[in-house]
Chain A
Amino acid sequence: MVTIATKDIMPQHLSRDLRKLHRDLLAMSSRVEDMIHQAVDQLGDPNFDQAVQIAKLDDAIDELDVQIEDDCLKVLALNQPAGVDLRRITTVMKISGELERVADIAANIAQRACGLAESPEIPIPDRLKEMAHDAVDMLHRAIDAYVDLDPMKAMQVCADDDSIDDMNREIIDQLIADMHRTPDRIEPLLHLFSASRQIERVADHATNIAEDVVYLVEGTIIRHGRHFAQKQAN
């Protein structure tokens, strides 16, 4: 852990501030993970009360996000850190932003699940549940990579994003086919469509977090790397 490794040479208050930031971010991550799990579980077993509860939790996460950003800016202004400390603070800021968006998605998925509950004749496709499970697992592993400062773990998360994209495409194709077949069921199918898109975005945010981890450890920005490489090749 960086904060511990450099404890002896960095000013004590900076070390203390960094530790607090680290702790707050992990507390936020565990709450967001809980939320997204609850939201995804709703797909199989929708519950209006819980959907409202998730929306409430989202507000608390927004507050946490603002507080963490505030703290980060304070540490930056007061200590003007350099090197790994600077990278750590910027990473914390970015990860907290990603987590805040995941919390929004959780609230959204819970709403979709409740919308679906109104038309019980539409079963949730197993593939969608599988994708939700994989996406939430990616988020967990991305945060594991941050805790362990493990770029290999982070790279694996980035690599797994492709399979989620494929699944999403597959599910959406299937849903569009269903819509053509049964136009009277468009509304619940649209809920499913939206849920699938949202879950795909959870995986995207997990990938962003993993990329931030690679930046934190190695100092290189790998975001859009493939995109740039393709452009150069062309």
Chain B
Amino acid sequence: MKIGKSRPVILWHKHGSLMLRDVTFWKVFVSSIGIAGLAALISFQWDNIGDSAVLFGILLLAAATLQSWWMHKRMRDLLAALRTTVAAWDDPLLTQPVSPRLASEFQELLQPLHLAGGRLKRQTKCVERLAEEHAQRSELLQAVLATVVEGVIVVDSDEQVLFANETAQKLLDVNAREVLNRPLWEVTRSTPIHEAVQSVLMSEEDVLEEVVMPRSKSVVSLTVTALPHDPVPGAVLVLRDMTALRKLESMRRDFVTNVSHELKTPLTSIQAYADTLLNDPETDREQEEYFLSRIVSESERLHHIILDLIRLGRIESQADDYEVQEVAVGAVVSACLEDHRAVAEGKSIHLQSVPSAEPLSVLADADELRTILDNLVDNAIKYTDSDGHVLVRWQHSDDMGIIEVQDDGAGIPLDRQPRVFERFYRVDKARDRERGGTGLGLSIVKHLCQMFGGSVEVDSEMGQGSTFRVRLPLAGTQGPETASDSSSALAEFSTVPL
């Protein structure tokens, strides 16, 4: 408010009263004295009046003093009122109306001020609304970016992180306390990612590559794009987790390699023996018999593999009808052990069973439960050295029946344990094939267990042996809806290639 310092402005009110805005008390006082002096001069000229004229002069002087004091006070009050009114425009909470007295005195000054104040108020409101909209929009963007499956990171031209959503931090294994406004190379220490970002910031050409995170072993597909503008203000990194897809692809690749290998090996042998027999007419009878017996055993092996493959296919596609009913585990186990006793004794392996305290019945197809047990016991005998032990025991646990097949063989390395249920997976490629078997047994066990609403798992320590644990629903606790359960369990595996 610099009103007091500006040049004096004289305003003529429409009622004709003179308003002095910048005239101080003293200026009014001096001019009043002037008028009083003029009056005294006139009175002195009127000699005949005499003393009464002097008195008149003094009265006039007093009146002038009073008048100027009153004007000064009024002036001060008006200015104070004006100040409050104008100050109120600044604060949206104080909507003080202009007092009528003030309005009459400052009409012409107030009008443009009032207009300007109104404009200011409207503009402030507009800015506030925009700010609110902006905050909402940025909140929405944050929420969207936070929930997208992809990881998103934005860096500026100096590689400082401007934004990083949760997924990105998880994918890049970020443990740093703070992420925002820190250099990306400090937040995540991955050479390929930094090289990609630097190359994008330099060349402005997008980079698309796949990075394997060394710690989590997850495969991350990385797309780095430069932000539009010149010079490049930064880059956006979009990260996608490809681990599951790549794993599935590698399983498919392994399967194709393995299946061709498993089928090719017996075929090659058969061909070689047959060729020898054909081309060498002088083979003696003993050799001939040996070759022929090899041809028979190799074709049997081939036959087994193909039968198992077909079987696995049928289990997966639910082509067969299973008679899911109450099956007494004890009876099936004894029958299974009886069949394997001869082989076990041949290898001097002690085959034992530990029955549960009370009889256990599970919901399954009796024939298929036998298949499950046969496969597990057969494996246990195969992978246990002579003088070893194979133990089958069964018991209750909550609403599941548990059947365990335990051996004290070589054991399975921890990192291979989850893979033993894959088709044709061999823990030790060279030696496992020598032991025979199709490489599909555990895969069949797993699918059958899932079919009956159960599961199978392995517990193993190197040098100590392995325990395969089958869980099947107890008879009586769960109705025949296991069939529908199995279909959902199967859906999960339908993506696995056969």
Q: What is A's interface to B at a CB cutoff of 8 Å?
A: 1, 22-23, 26-27, 29-31, 33-34, 37-38, 44, 120, 123-126, 129-130, 136-137, 140-141, 143-144, 147-148, 150
Contact = CB atoms under 8 A, between A and B. Distances in A.
B80 interface: no
Interface stretch (B9-17, B186-194, B331-339): B186-194
Interface centre among B182, B189, B190 (most CB of A within 10 A): B189
B189 A33 contact: yes
A33 B214 contact: yes
Interface in B357-414: 410, 413-414
Contact of A44 (B176, B183, B214, B415): B415
A140 B139 CA distance: 34
B430 interface: yes
A27 B194 contact: yes
23 contacts: A1-B186, A23-B185, A30-B189, A30-B194, A31-B191, A34-B214, A37-B215, A38-B214, A44-B415, A123-B413, A123-B462, A126-B413, A129-B413, A129-B414, A129-B415, A130-B414, A136-B215, A140-B215, A141-B175, A144-B175, A147-B186, A147-B189, A148-B176
Contact of A1 (B175, B182, B194, B430): B182
Interface residues of B, number: 21
Contacts of A150: 177
Contacts of A33: 189, 214
Interface string B175-210: 111000011011001110010000000000000000
Contacts of A26: 185-186, 189
Contacts of A37: 214-215
Which are the 3 A-B pairs with shortest beta-carbon distances? A30-B189, A37-B214, A126-B414
Contacts of A124: 413
Interface centre among A29, A37, A147 (most CB of B within 10 A): A147
A47 to B, nearest CB: 15
A130 B461 CA distance: 13
B280 interface: no
A33 B214 CA distance: 8
Contacts of A1: 182, 186
A39 B441 CA distance: 34
Interface in B398-441: 410, 413-415, 428, 430
Contact of A126 (B185, B191, B215, B462): B462
A219 B134 CA distance: 46
A72 to B, nearest CB: 19
A125 B411 CA distance: 11
Q: Is the interface of B mostly helix, strand, loop or mixed?
A: loop
A143 B215 CA distance: 14
A126 B461 contact: yes
Nearest to A30: B189
A216 to B, nearest CB: 15
Nearest to B183: A23
A150 B176 CA distance: 10
A34 B182 CA distance: 22
A124 B177 CA distance: 37
Nearest to B191: A30
A44 B413 contact: yes
Contacts of A44: 413, 415
Nearest to B214: A37
B215 A125 contact: no
Nearest to B429: A120
Contacts of B215: 37, 136-137, 140
B190 A30 contact: yes
Contacts of B410: 123
Nearest to A137: B215
B113 to A, nearest CB: 44
A90 B413 CA distance: 43
Contacts of B189: 26, 29-30, 33, 143, 147
Interface centre among A29, A37, A136, A143 (most CB of B within 10 A): A37
A128 to B, nearest CB: 10
Contacts of B194: 27, 30
Contacts of B461: 126
A139 B360 CA distance: 51
Interface string B158-190: 000000000000000001110000110110011
Contacts of A23: 183, 185
Nearest to B177: A148
Contacts of A38: 214
Contacts of A141: 175
Contacts of A129: 413-415
Interface in B422-481: 428, 430, 461-462
Contacts of B214: 33-34, 37-38
A62 to B, nearest CB: 17
A27 B191 contact: yes
Contacts of B462: 123, 125-126
Nearest to B188: A30
A22 B462 CA distance: 44
B428 A120 contact: yes
B418 to A, nearest CB: 13
A38 B190 CA distance: 14
A29 B214 CA distance: 13
B40 to A, nearest CB: 75
A199 B430 CA distance: 29
A87 B461 CA distance: 48
Contacts of B183: 23
Nearest to A34: B214
A147 B176 contact: yes
B231 to A, nearest CB: 19
Given A34-B214, A37-B214, A147-B176, A27 B413 contact: no
Given A129-B414, A136-B215, A141-B175, 13 more contacts: A1-B186, A30-B189, A33-B214, A34-B191, A37-B215, A38-B214, A44-B415, A123-B413, A126-B413, A126-B461, A147-B186, A147-B189, A148-B176
A91 to B, nearest CB: 15
A29 B189 CA distance: 8
A34 B188 CA distance: 13
Contacts of A148: 176-177
Contacts of A120: 428, 430
Contacts of A126: 413-415, 461-462
B185 A27 contact: yes
A136 B214 CA distance: 10
Contacts of B176: 144, 147-148
Contacts of A140: 215
B241 to A, nearest CB: 19
